[in-house]
């Protein structure tokens, strides 16, 4: 018990500040993609905290072990929150599927598009954009190349996919 009190009592105010700032920056980095400025500053601050506390090699290793355990625990909490917690239900997390409420057209609107004729505003190879009386939609051809400006006809709608074919007056 005396060893624990001696270890805690050996911390200076500057060391505690560096430790807290470093841990906060590293936890904040867990929420941002990549290794950015917050992570680099967090690592520098944690190294400074270890150096300020390490009057012996043993104290330095103990401090490093405590920091790693704290960061590992924070990482598990953040990971679980991304999977099942409040963060998983927030707008910053992409969902695995698209729900019908997130599209501008409903299923009945999409089904009403069948048979309509429009103009390819981009080349369809096989996907692209077509304009149907002022409504621009992402469309998909049946594998064939359709040039920009060619007329297309909606064949069928499968979920959010609008399948088109080239349109000529004969068909």
Q: What is the DSSP secondary structure assignment for residue 54, as one 8-state letter?
A: -
Distances (CA, A) of 27 to 19, 22, 40: 12, 9, 12
Tell me what pLDDT residue 151 has: 93
Going by pLDDT thresholds of 50, 70 and 90, the confidence category of residue 153 is: very high
Six token digits for residue 109? 């609107």
Give the count of beta carbons closer than 10 Å to the beta carbon of residue 49: 25
Residue 84 has pLDDT above 90, yes or no: no
Tell me what pLDDT residue 122 has: 94
Six token digits for residue 83? 């999977």
Residue range 152-165: average pLDDT? Answer: 88
Q: What is the DSSP secondary structure assignment for residue 157, as one 8-state letter?
A: E
Residue 30 has pLDDT above 70, yes or no: yes
Going by pLDDT thresholds of 50, 70 and 90, the confidence category of residue 93 is: low
pTM for this structure? 0.48
pLDDT digits (tens, 9 = 90+) for 51-63: 888 888 888 888 8
């Amino acid at each position: 018990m005396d060893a624990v009190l001696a270890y805690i009592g050996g911390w200076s105010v500057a060391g505690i500040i560096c430790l807290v700032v470093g841990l906060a920056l590293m936890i904040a980095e867990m929420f941002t993609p990549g290794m950015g400025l917050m992570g680099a500053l967090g690592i520098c601050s944690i190294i400074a905290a270890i150096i300020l506390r390490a009057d012996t090699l043993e104290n330095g290793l103990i401090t490093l072990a405590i920091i790693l355990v704290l960061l590992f625990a924070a990482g598990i909490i953040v990971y679980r929150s991304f999977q099942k917690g409040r963060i998983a239900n927030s707008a910053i997390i992409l969902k695995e599927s698209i729900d019908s409420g997130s599209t501008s057209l409903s299923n009945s609107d999409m089904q009403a598009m069948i048979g309509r004729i429009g103009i390819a505003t981009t080349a369809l190879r096989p996907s692209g954009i077509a304009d149907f009386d002022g409504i621009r939609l992402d469309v998909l051809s049946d594998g064939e190349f359709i040039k920009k400006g060619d007329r297309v006809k909606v064949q069928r709608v499968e979920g959010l996919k609008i399948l088109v074919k080239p349109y000529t007056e004969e068909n």
